[in-house]
Structure 1
Amino acid sequence: MKQNFTVRQGALDGVEAFLSVARHRSFRKAAAELGVTPSAISQAVRVLETRIGAALFVRTTRSVGLTEAGERFLSRAKPAFEELVAASEVARDLGQRPSGLLRLSVPRAVIPILLEPLVASFCKAWPEVEVEIAASKEVVDLAAEGFDAAIRLGQFVAADMVAVPMTPPFRLIVVGSPAYFEEHRPPRHTDDLRHHACLRWRRSSGALALWSFNDNGEALEIAVSGPFIASDFPTMLGAALEGVGLAQLPAPLAAEGLRAGKLVEVLDAYAPVMPGVFLCYPDRRQMLPKLRAFIDHVKRRQTGDSGMEAKKEAGRGGGRTR
């Protein structure tokens, strides 16, 4: 049978007073140490003894000693109380300065083009913060999974999340390799995609994503077909570079391939504009300094400020976040 273990309300009341009296063998010295009156210390100890059901001290007009029950209670309570104090100090330290483990849930596509340079500069600026990146295509529950924040495409940011923009809006473009277009005529209209090998993306829900377009201001979604299905944009990019077929990708992800002539954009007149990439987190009131430092770092990277300036600002109390 499963047991329920609980700590009674007030079960720790008087323990600090008891430990101070036991250490000094004096109610008066314990009162001075804790900044209260001797009568308050005496009352706290009496309440503790009543709750325990045993006398903990032997009191005379000239001395204070421990009973056998007091000795046994001291041997167990002292290390336990010290551990509680140490735990409080560790938690307080995390609440006062950027330190500890910062866990981020991110889509794989943003790691090489956005996150790697950002994290490198952040780690140099804040060496006491450890950054853990969990790449996933799923939109995870940050609180349930123990993440401090997530990096998400704008269309996947929930309404109850606080969002900080990391990129401006970008186009969602269709690209293919020169080798592919040596064998296939470039499409001029979205209807032409019926005659092309289109690389598809399977969402975390299991559904195949439709291709999105903007046709003279009207949103258009098309179910395409082709020989290859991937679960993330980088894999689709790799397949497009190899000439497997056409891929619809965020423009920043395809930018290097376009510059190098390894990719060719088509249907550019139909490319929709996406909201961009955002750093999002649940509630600014629950934010620890490590996350606040990362948010400020994101903002300063966008404006070109240095990590040293970030530290100076943190020393002045830090900046407010959105």
Structure 2
Amino acid sequence: MKALQDFRIFIKTARLGSLSETARQMDLTPAATSAAVKRLEAEVGTALFIRSTRNLRLTPHGELFLSHCEQAVEAIEDGFASVKSGQSELTGLLQIALPSDLGRRLMLRWIDEFIEQNPKLSVRLHLSDSIADMYRQPVDIALRYGNPPDSSLIALPVAAKNQRVLCASPEYLEKFGAPTHPGQLTRHNCLCFALSDSLHARWHFYRDTIEESVHVSGNRMANDGDAVRRWAIAGHGIAYKSLLDIAEDLEEGKLVRVCPEWQGETAPLNLICASRRQLSPAIQALREHLSSKANTLLHSLN
């Protein structure tokens, strides 16, 4: 359907501000993407983009047309998805962004199980604690803790009751003692995580109606959650980690909970996508699979 493809090219170009980048991500020639935009401009009888030597930006008419295009394409693709959902086999490529620690520790194995159950699916993973740009990167969905900073993104729960917990190795606690109150963390070496150049060094805790906020410090910081977990296992300090990230380490005795009577911050795991039209039958089935695995694991720790 050439008209539908032209709409997709227009929407992608509006988000990226570049015909060449649109062509690269959609595996098209620059000439084909330019021709699609020109066809639409001829149909509506006005320019949709203001062109400069470096990028494109929408005209006022282009901004108005974009909102209608997005709704039309979403409705059509929802129709396709509804028809395809009746098919027994799931097919296609899943492009997924995953947090470093959660991805390596649990999701790789759970996604492998899903692919084995649905052999006509393939997967491309992007493992990083940096927040994926859902519009510019070749990613369909992302698994992330907390709600997305961009309110236009869609967030569906995978493990809504996940939370952060204090943890350390038995060796560290034997050597330095276990704090019994969050305020005592200031006397300990705390392993801090950094995201987008922001150091997460203020940790929050709750007990009944009491709230404690502690500014911690330590001699090890990383922008990789897996590195923080490994430091904790090695006995280098106390970490404030997602319970999902360390669930198996707790079960194996590599880590133990610290101040267990205090609740850490909530850290709901969500599946993030740019539009509901991306929620194909395969992605919806994957969310159900991962949610079942994650919630079963969390339940086993309670």
In 2: Cα distance, 1:174 partner to 1:187 partner: 10
The CA deviation at 1:113 is: 4.1
Name which of structure 1's ranges 226-235 and 238-247 shifts more when overlaid on structure 2. 226-235
**How many pairs were matched up?**
219
- The answer for the alignment partner of 2:164 in structure 1 is 172
SS at match of 2:249: helix
Match for residue 278 of structure 2 among 282, 287, 291: 287
Q: Is the CA contact (8 Å cut-off) linking 2:164 and 2:266 kept in structure 1?
A: yes
Amino acid at match of 2:164: L
Q: Is the CA contact (8 Å cut-off) linking 1:200 and 1:229 kept in structure 2?
A: yes
Match for residue 139 of structure 2 among 127, 139, 147: 147
Matched, 1:272 2:264: yes
Q: Is the CA contact (8 Å cut-off) linking 2:202 and 2:213 kept in structure 1?
A: yes
Change (3 A) 1:127 1:261: closer
In 2: Cα distance, 1:275 partner to 1:155 partner: 9
TM-score by length of 1: 0.59
Change (3 A) 1:9 1:106: closer
Question: What whole-Å deviation, never above 9, does each CA across 1:274-319 have from its counterpart, x for those lacking one?
Answer: 14211121211x327xx43122232156469xxxxxxxxxxxxxxx
SS at match of 1:163: strand
TM-score by length of 2: 0.63
Q: Is the CA contact (8 Å cut-off) linking 2:129 and 2:225 kept in structure 1?
A: no
Change (3 A) 1:209 1:193: closer
Amino acid at match of 1:187: P
Q: Is the CA contact (8 Å cut-off) linking 1:105 and 1:151 kept in structure 2?
A: yes
- The answer for the alignment partner of 1:246 in structure 2 is 238
After the TM superposition, which residues 179-194 of structure 1 pair with which residues of structure 2 at under 5 Å, given as runs?
A: 179-194=171-186
In 2: Cα distance, 1:206 partner to 1:106 partner: 19
After the TM superposition, which residues 37-52 of structure 1 pair with which residues of structure 2 at under 5 Å, given as runs?
A: none
Change (3 A) 1:245 1:302: closer
Matched, 1:137 2:126: no
In 1: Cα distance, 2:220 partner to 2:178 partner: 19
- The answer for the alignment partner of 1:211 in structure 2 is 203
- The answer for the alignment partner of 2:285 in structure 1 is 296
Amino acid at match of 1:107: P
Q: Is the CA contact (8 Å cut-off) linking 2:148 and 2:272 kept in structure 1?
A: no
Q: Is the CA contact (8 Å cut-off) linking 1:178 and 1:263 kept in structure 2?
A: yes
Change (3 A) 1:182 1:122: closer
In 2: Cα distance, 1:242 partner to 1:300 partner: 32
The CA deviation at 1:120 is: 1.4
SS at match of 2:156: strand
In 1: Cα distance, 2:195 partner to 2:290 partner: 31
The CA deviation at 1:249 is: 0.9
SS at match of 1:143: coil
Q: Is the CA contact (8 Å cut-off) linking 1:160 and 1:282 kept in structure 2?
A: yes
After the TM superposition, which residues 50-61 of structure 1 pair with which residues of structure 2 at under 5 Å, given as runs?
A: none
The CA deviation at 1:143 is: 1.6
Change (3 A) 1:195 1:282: same
Question: What whole-Å deviation, never above 9, does each CA across 1:55-81 have from its counterpart, x for those lacking one?
Answer: xxxxxxxxxxxxxxxxxxxxxxxxxxx
The CA deviation at 1:163 is: 2.2
- The answer for the alignment partner of 2:69 in structure 1 is none
Q: Which has the larger radius of gyration?
A: 1
In 1: Cα distance, 2:102 partner to 2:258 partner: 23
Question: What whole-Å deviation, never above 9, does each CA across 1:237-264 have from its counterpart, x for those lacking one?
Answer: 1111111011111122222222222222
In 2: Cα distance, 1:146 partner to 1:231 partner: 22
SS at match of 1:227: coil
The CA deviation at 1:195 is: 0.9
Report the RMSD for the aligned CA atoms in angstroms.
3.2
Change (3 A) 1:157 1:104: farther
Amino acid at match of 2:226: P
In 1: Cα distance, 2:289 partner to 2:39 partner: 47
- The answer for the alignment partner of 1:57 in structure 2 is none
Q: Is the CA contact (8 Å cut-off) linking 1:170 and 1:273 kept in structure 2?
A: no
If each structure's strand is expressed as a fraction of its own residues, which one has the higher value? 2
SS at match of 1:109: helix
Question: What whole-Å deviation, never above 9, does each CA across 1:200-226 have from its counterpart, x for those lacking one?
Answer: 111123434422212433554322111
Gaps of 5+ in 2: 1-29, 41-79, 294-302
Q: Kindly, what percent of the aligned residue pairs are identical? A: 24
- The answer for the alignment partner of 2:44 in structure 1 is none
